[in-house]
Amino acid sequence: MTDWLAVDWGTSHLRVWAMTQSGTVQTRRGNDAGMGTLSRDGFEPALLDLAGDLLGTGKTPVIVCGMAGSRQGWAEAKYVAAPCTPPGIDRATHVPTREPRLSVHILPGVKQTNPADVMRGEETQIAGFLALNPKFDGVICLPGTHTKWVHISAGEIVSFRTFMTGEMFALLSQQSVLRHTASGDGWDATAFADAISTAMSNTSDLAARLFSIRAEGLLNNLHADQARTRLSGLLIGAELAAARPYWLGQHVALIGDDKLCKAYADALGAQGLPVERTDAERMTLEGLKAAYAALRETTQ
Amino acid sequence: MTDWLAVDWGTSHLRVWAMTQSGTVQTRRGNDAGMGTLSRDGFEPALLDLAGDLLGTGKTPVIVCGMAGSRQGWAEAKYVAAPCTPPGIDRATHVPTREPRLSVHILPGVKQTNPADVMRGEETQIAGFLALNPKFDGVICLPGTHTKWVHISAGEIVSFRTFMTGEMFALLSQQSVLRHTASGDGWDATAFADAISTAMSNTSDLAARLFSIRAEGLLNNLHADQARTRLSGLLIGAELAAARPYWLGQHVALIGDDKLCKAYADALGAQGLPVERTDAERMTLEGLKAAYAALRETTQ
């Protein structure tokens, strides 16, 4: 029997886990009904479409994290200001629904004033990581479209910084002139290490080094895999150089896509920094479970 | 009467000028039949479509610069290696045509081995600039999709470097998450100067500063014009920092779009550097005219 639904609702995807009270996953489902494809009225039907058959006759709590809580989402769950603990159920927005069996709570994101920055979704993964590692003190890096570096101390998000590295890689590799050259889908570990080292040693001429990839394709028949890997390495290397104050001498944990985390782990490893890798989906789910546990406490 | 055709054939546009022997423009035409839209067989029909009615009964020389000479173009006009004078008619590729009244010559681009770099089209603008300023010694900057910085000495292209600044601005402002924030079309001179200064003083965290534009839009209602101008300033500032070895203490001439050249002139002016602005289309035409004059000499 489904006691509650855990929901990760991002810009481009919707993921639902049917959960028991004790935290066992009964079913996992997902589709591409992301926030970006929905108007405000579309969220409840989209959720019922994917998971309506999992509801019983009584009221089912639904705990949601991610972009569904943005201003353009289902209902705004206003950012909590860092420094703060990852916001839990007490800061969630309760959303009225037409379907009486739903009781929807959307967890808020976290904002930072100076430098201006925001996260939405990552705070729940951080909550999950801290639920499993309550004494963690160090830095969590969440590689992705908008990679986050987050300084954690005494259970709090102290400060963070977002880099558009992943989105720049996607745009440059798929839509810029580099798409002709960086069209491979393989990975060249040596090219990556070289590019990381180049980018970290001098961060100033990124835009020129990027064009050199195209020129080397034209003049030296640079292999498509090498080109794509170099593009990735130049962008990640520039990020690591800028994020040095975050990771230098720190205990670093990575949360994100496996392949991407491997690339970050390799790059940081080459700097002599051991990192801890985690299961990103598990962190999301642990964060949602922590929120559900707190909800049960307040309603019992 | 049309004595010859001057043709600037880029990736996205085709421009033709009907010329007299003495260099007077009789007609100017253009359309969007750029190299990117054509297969090899499509170039001759596209040229005749736009300018076929301008041909007389005899053979008409056609001097072409730009991407029509690339490997994917009408016929490959192989790069000449820098250091070199801007390649003229003696390095052009003669293209056979079905239409007997055409005699087509495509001017080559210029390549550089280390760092790998290429240009195609800009070399003809440089030739035009040098035809008008034969004693110029200094640096020519050609802002655009792929901005070029070119060191000129004794009439030669000594070295050059290409920055993907313009293409990154287009992708980030129109297709990234920043499109929601940087949607203005106005210009904020103060925001631009601030962003240039920020980017030039520390070039390392560009990808984070870019995301801050989005965050300031969400948290501080950053105005769309300011956001767009800041994006431009951060990218151009990072380029100017990297190109400093090119422009520092040099005589700099700008060739390119008026608005964009104004932005570069403002940014370099704030660094205490006076720059010379030119008419880009005139430089192209002067370069093509110089090639035609050389053609007449060789055939007389």
Across A138-159, average pLDDT: 97
CATH number at residue B69: 3.30.420.300
Please indicate, yes or no, whether residues B39 and B98 belong to a single structural domain of this protein: yes
Question: Is A164 close to B171, i.e. CB distance below 8 A?
Answer: no
Q: How far is CA B228 from CA A176, A217, B9, B189, B235, in A?
A: 20, 32, 30, 11, 11
**Confidence check: pLDDT of A58 > 70:** yes
* Residue A300: band (very low, low, confident or very high) from pLDDT cuts 50, 70, 90: low
Please indicate, yes or no, whether residues B179 and B261 belong to a single structural domain of this protein: yes
* Residue B298: band (very low, low, confident or very high) from pLDDT cuts 50, 70, 90: confident
The residue out of A120, A139, A174 marking a domain boundary is A120
- Chain A residues in contact with B172 by the CB 8 A cut-off are 164, 168, 171
Mutate which of A203, A239, A240, A246 to disrupt the B interface (most B C-beta within 10 Å)?
A203
CB contact residues (below 8 A), chain B span 171-200, against chain A: 171-172, 175-177
Determine, yes or no, domain membership for A144: no
CATH number at residue B176: 3.30.420.310
- Chain B residues in contact with A79 by the CB 8 A cut-off are 219
| pLDDT one-digit tens code per residue, B150-172 | 999 999 999 999 999 999 999 99
Domain span at B96: 4-120
Please indicate, yes or no, whether residues B96 and B169 belong to a single structural domain of this protein: no
Please indicate, yes or no, whether residues A113 and A168 belong to a single structural domain of this protein: no
**Confidence check: pLDDT of B299 > 80:** no
Please indicate, yes or no, whether residues B195 and B99 belong to a single structural domain of this protein: no
Out of A111, A112, A203, whose CB is closest to B204? A203
Please indicate, yes or no, whether residues B272 and B197 belong to a single structural domain of this protein: yes
* Residue A265: band (very low, low, confident or very high) from pLDDT cuts 50, 70, 90: very high
The mean predicted confidence, pLDDT, of chain B is 95
Out of B215, B216, B242, whose CB is closest to A204? B242
**Is A216 within 8 Å of chain B by CB?**
yes
Give the ipTM: 0.92
The nearest CA of chain B is from the CA of A131 a distance in Å of: 28
* Residue A298: band (very low, low, confident or very high) from pLDDT cuts 50, 70, 90: confident
**Is A151 within 8 Å of chain B by CB?**
no
Determine, yes or no, domain membership for B129: no
Q: What angle do CA A235, A239, A241 make, to 5 degrees?
A: 120
The structural domain count of chain B equals 2
Please indicate, yes or no, whether residues A94 and A167 belong to a single structural domain of this protein: no
Question: Is A117 close to B212, i.e. CB distance below 8 A?
Answer: yes
Determine, yes or no, domain membership for A287: no
Question: Is B71 close to A218, i.e. CB distance below 8 A?
Answer: yes
Question: Is B242 close to A205, i.e. CB distance below 8 A?
Answer: yes
pLDDT of residue B300: 67
Weakest mean pLDDT among B162-166, B203-207, B252-256: B203-207
pLDDT of residue A231: 97
The residue out of B65, B94, B120 marking a domain boundary is B120
The nearest CA of chain B is from the CA of A3 a distance in Å of: 36
Please indicate, yes or no, whether residues A176 and A226 belong to a single structural domain of this protein: yes
| pLDDT one-digit tens code per residue, A102-128 | 999 999 999 999 999 999 999 999 999
pLDDT of residue B185: 87
- Chain B residues in contact with A161 by the CB 8 A cut-off are 205, 208
The rounded percent of chain B whose pLDDT value lies above 90 is 94
pLDDT of residue A202: 83
Amino acid at position A55, single letter: L
Across B262-270, average pLDDT: 96
Please indicate, yes or no, whether residues A32 and A111 belong to a single structural domain of this protein: yes
User: What is the dihedral angle through the alpha carbons of B72, B76, B77, B79, rounded to the nearest 10 degrees?
Assistant: 60
| pLDDT one-digit tens code per residue, A61-92 | 999 999 999 999 999 999 999 999 999 999 99
| pLDDT one-digit tens code per residue, A202-238 | 877 899 999 999 999 999 999 999 999 999 999 999 9
Q: Judge whether B54 and B63 are in contact, CB under 8 Å.
A: no
Residue of A nearest to B120 (CA): A215
- Chain A residues in contact with B216 by the CB 8 A cut-off are 116
The nearest CA of chain B is from the CA of A185 a distance in Å of: 22
Please indicate, yes or no, whether residues A202 and A273 belong to a single structural domain of this protein: yes
Mutate which of A71, A218, A234, A246 to disrupt the B interface (most B C-beta within 10 Å)?
A218
Mutate which of B119, B206, B216, B230 to disrupt the A interface (most A C-beta within 10 Å)?
B206
**Is A76 within 8 Å of chain B by CB?**
no
Question: Is B162 close to A215, i.e. CB distance below 8 A?
Answer: yes
Determine, yes or no, domain membership for B294: no
Q: With residue A139 as reference, give the H or E element that holds it.
A: strand A138-142
- Count the neighbouring beta carbons within 10 Å of the beta carbon of residue A173: 20
**Confidence check: pLDDT of B259 > 80:** yes
Q: Judge whether A96 and A57 are in contact, CB under 8 Å.
A: no
Please indicate, yes or no, whether residues B116 and B166 belong to a single structural domain of this protein: no
